[in-house]
Amino acid sequence: FAEFDDAANLLAANPDATTISIDEPAEISKNQHGRLQEPGREEDDELLGTDDSDKTELLAGQKKSAPFWTFDYYQMFFDVDTYQVLDRIKGSVFPVPGKNFVRLYIRSNPDLYGPFWICATLVFTIAVSGNLSNFFIHLGKPMYHYVPEFRKVSIAATTIYAYAWLVPLALWGFLMWRNSKVMNIVSYSFLEIVCVYGYSLFIYIPTAILWIIPQKVVRWVLVMFSLCLSGSVLVMTFWPAVRDDNRRIALATVGTIVLLHALLAVGCLAYFFDAPELDFPAPIIPVHNGTAVITKS
Amino acid sequence: DLWGPLVLCVSLALMLQGGSADSKDDGGPQFAEVFVIIWFGAVVITLNSKLLGGTISFFQSLCVLGYCVLPLTVAMLVCRLVLLAGSGTVSFIIRLIVVVAMFGWSTLASTAFLADSQPPNRKALVVYPIFLFYFVISWMILTFTPQ
């Protein structure tokens, strides 16, 4: 039993060391892909220390796939730490020329945390900023009655989640189809595409907050700026995937990606934020039965 | 238990109810919307916490999140009372201070329970959705305008 003592001593001296055990699933570190043990054993795993990215890469090849109706299957997509999420957000905002977001940051570990919560934050940011902006624009005008406009939250949610999930689905299907026709195309998994799209929406959160400023020029400059930043991340991610294809199809694909991204931004700006220069008095329209109806135009 | 959260959620939704505006489309949240946001939001945060590897059980987390709505329910009550007195700038400042204080209290209280059940390198990932959840509820309370 001398070897076991040595191993235990080594582990006690350096708790962060990479350990590989063959028999007992309970000794696999909790941050490994595809956890197999029950939740009750998690306290034991904390003694083995926290993971780091080297370990993740080493064990990436050993990703176990659980059946999709178990909880463990979905846990594989939340296997990120705080610093990884922050790194991915930074990578989506500052495009590194020549580097691919998927290869550089995601590295076979796509997560659903980022896309889901960035979309949720964006939905509420747009709704709240739009409401605040309209409030400041119409403040002081006679007949203006503040309304919270809560219906717009559902509309914002539908639009943004549809964009973040349906466009990647369409793009993934398209890339799969082209992959079957043309060899040597870099292919991304569906979740990696969802990840890129989710993180690329992050730039719109500070943009939406700054859209409160009621100047048309400022708003359009912000749209252009954020579109350039996140659009370039998207382009640099998907250009290697289509460049081996027919020239026109490649350009059309990349163009469509950027166009949809721009449409989302412009659409949100137009729908949730009233134009600042136009005057929006609330006219009193006499209705035929004599009662006056105040409408917001 | 979920009894306390249910009582708090229903009373908060009832108090937010009377704030509909002129047109049906632009009003404040309806009862069903508040109810759905609170329960669906709590379920999503619990799932998020469990998926990130938390050791707290599903209903424990729902219970904690539900009970921590209490400070915001108190804030809603105070806001309604202040609005009875008037709806000018002073009343808005009072309501703002009360809502911000209660929002901070709710977030800190639930974070104290839920963050410790997470591994330390993921605490921020679990705390942020709780912050967002109570922020949205606080926003609904602050923008409440009586008819």
Question: B142 vs chain A: nearest CA distance in angstroms?
Answer: 10
Q: What residues in chain A have their Cβ under 8 A from chain B's Cβ atoms?
A: 30-31, 39, 42-43, 46, 50, 71, 74-75, 77-78, 80-83, 85, 113, 116-117, 120-121, 124, 128, 131, 145-151, 294-296
Question: At A285, is the secondary structure helix, strand, or coil?
Answer: strand
Whether residue B103 is contained in a domain is answered as yes
Whether residue B22 is contained in a domain is answered as no
Per-residue pLDDT for B99 more than 90?
yes
Question: At A293, is the secondary structure helix, strand, or coil?
Answer: strand
pLDDT for the residue A38: 41
Angstrom distance (rounded) from CA A188 to CA A103? 10
Q: What is the mean pLDDT of residues B85-102?
A: 89
Stronger pLDDT, A109 or B93, i.e. the higher one: B93
Most confident of A33-42, A60-69, B2-11: B2-11
Question: B145 vs chain A: nearest CA distance in angstroms?
Answer: 7
pLDDT for the residue B66: 92
CA separation, residue B59 to residues A169, B12, B29 (Å): 34, 21, 26
Choose, out of B16, B22, B134, the residue to mutate when testing the contact with A (most A CBs < 10 Å).
Answer: B22
> Per the confidence metrics, is the pTM higher than 0.90?
no
Q: Where are the beta strands (DSSP E) in chain A?
A: 284-286, 292-294
Listed in sequence order, the residues at least 6 apart from A77 whose beta carbon sits closer than 8 Å to its beta carbon are: A110, A111, A112, A113, A191, B51
Per-residue pLDDT for A130 more than 50?
yes
Per-residue pLDDT for A119 more than 90?
yes
Nearest Cβ partner for A150 among B33, B50, B122: B33
Residue B115 in contact with partner chain A when CB distance is under 8 A: no
Domain around B71 = 2-16+27-143
DSSP single-letter state for residue A232:
H
Please give the ipTM for the structure prediction.
0.89
Per-residue pLDDT for A2 more than 60?
no
Residues in chain B within 8 Å Cβ distance of A15: none
Helix A82-93 vs helix A190-200: angle between axes, to the nearest 10 degrees? Answer: 70
pLDDT for the residue B50: 87
Whether residue B21 is contained in a domain is answered as no
- In tens, the pLDDT along A149-182 reads 778 888 888 999 999 999 999 988 888 888 777 7
Nearest Cβ partner for A148 among B122, B132, B143: B143
How remote is the C-alpha of A7 from its chain's centroid? 42
Angstrom distance (rounded) from CA A209 to CA B88? 25
Considering only A47-61, A90-104, A194-208, which range has the smallest mean pLDDT? Answer: A47-61
Whether residue B39 is contained in a domain is answered as yes
Choose, out of A44, A126, A143, A147, the residue to mutate when testing the contact with B (most B CBs < 10 Å).
Answer: A147
pLDDT for the residue A40: 41
Considering only A47-56, A144-153, A275-284, which range has the smallest mean pLDDT? Answer: A47-56
HSE (CB half, 13 Å, CA atoms) of A9? 6
Q: Taking CB atoms and an 8 Å limit, are B132 and A121 in contact across chains?
A: yes
Q: What is the mean pLDDT of residues A197-204?
A: 90
> What's the total number of domains in chain B?
1
Angstrom distance (rounded) from CA A39 to CA A61? 24
Q: Where are the domains of chain A?
A: 75-274
Per-residue pLDDT for B60 more than 50?
yes
